[in-house]
Amino acid sequence: MSSPLPTDLAALGNRINVETRPYHQKIDKQVTLKFAIAVRDPKVYRQGIQLFYHLFKTIEECLSTEIARDSKYSAMLRDTWKPELARTDKLYSDLMFFYQDHPEKFVTPMIKQQIESCAHIRQVTSEKPYLLLAYLHVLYLALFAGGRIMSSQVAKSLKLFPQMEGRSVDEVVALGTNLFRFDVNDPQSLRIVFKSDYDLQTRNFLSESEKQDVIEESKLAFEITADGIKEIERHNLKRLQSKLSYQIVTNGRYLALLVVTLVGFWFARRIMVHILYM
């Protein structure tokens, strides 16, 4: 079994790659820059994987629902999907590690863009279940493409993982890097099988109109990811500005108090001098 050649433009996956190349290049640059910052700060990193937790969880719940419905698209989606690809439980484990076993801090999306994105995925895939193929291609194949590099960067970060008594460094790192691991002997073989079945199931089953819908939704999948990252950046910037404003106000009050005190001492000294030398 082999995946379609990159030059085979009858393969839906290859058409998605060609049509979304500008989106892919844009998000690739954005993720590379932001990820370099995230691996230096556990709070920022956990916000990032929290975004993907909600996206993957929504996709996998919608996929499970559609397969169970026994609809026109159920068999195609079931034969395309590989359970080993599932990321919800993996990300849940990572987030439990970074949030110190407090699931209430991450199980529900609380930022506007994440809420809207998850709602969008649920709505469009309930109306057109085959649009799940857009998210399967864009988000899950990305785990193989950039996942190995990102996993290496995370594992090497000295600031993400605390020292834990009775555990080695590798054991601690393993607790927070489940996202990048697949429960198979050869992840690249899983990737090849997934791409091959993706092509096999979609090549003749979907109409040209449906394929175009998947391509357009794939573009949106990239935009959803980019917007989610930007929102986290805005959220952190707003918090930072709030902290700075608080510090400025607080420090300003102390400064004002100091000035008033010094002025008071100055006037008291002048009065004393005036009394002594009258």
Q: Which tens digit of pLDDT belongs to each residue from 78-96?
A: 999 999 999 999 999 999 9
- Summarised one tens digit per residue, pLDDT across range 166-186 is 899 899 999 999 999 999 999
Inter-helix orientation angle 112-127/208-276, to 10°: 170
Which token pair is 143?
């785990």
The model's confidence at residue 239, banded by pLDDT at 50, 70 and 90, is: low
CA 59 remoteness from chain centre: 14
**Is a pLDDT exceeding 60 seen at residue 247?**
no
**Is a pLDDT exceeding 70 seen at residue 272?**
no
- Average pLDDT across the chain, whole number: 85
Section 53-67 average pLDDT: 98
Instruction: Classify 230 in phi/psi space as left (phi over 0), alpha (psi -120 to 50) or beta.
Output: alpha
**Is a pLDDT exceeding 90 seen at residue 107?**
yes
**Is a pLDDT exceeding 60 seen at residue 199?**
yes
**Is a pLDDT exceeding 60 seen at residue 118?**
yes
DSSP label of 156:
H
pLDDT at site 129: 98
Section 207-212 average pLDDT: 98
**Is a pLDDT exceeding 80 seen at residue 6?**
no
What residues contact 269, with CB distance under 8 A and at least 6 apart?
none
Domains of the chain are: 12-245 (1.20.910.10)
What residues contact 45, with CB distance under 8 A and at least 6 apart?
38, 39, 98, 154, 160
Please choose, from the candidates 252, 256, 137, the residue with its C-alpha nearest in 3D space to the C-alpha of residue 199.
Answer: 137
d(CA 131, CA 221): 10
pLDDT at site 138: 96
Percent of the chain predicted with pLDDT > 70:
84
Question: What is the tally of helices (H) and strands (E) in the chain?
Answer: 12, 0
d(CA 172, CA 181): 15
Which token pair is 158?
């000295």
Identify the residue whose tokens are 């932001």: 34
**Is a pLDDT exceeding 70 seen at residue 244?**
no
Q: Are 36 and 27 in contact (CB under 8 A)?
A: no
Please choose, from the candidates 12, 118, 130, the residue with its C-alpha nearest in 3D space to the C-alpha of residue 67.
Answer: 130
What residues contact 215, with CB distance under 8 A and at least 6 apart?
12, 15, 16, 19, 20, 134
d(CA 249, CA 245): 6
d(CA 208, CA 190): 27
Kind and range of the H or E run holding 118: helix 112-127
Section 229-248 average pLDDT: 70
102 annotated ligand-binding residue: no
Section 226-232 average pLDDT: 91
φ and ψ at residue 251, rounded to 5 degrees: -65, -35
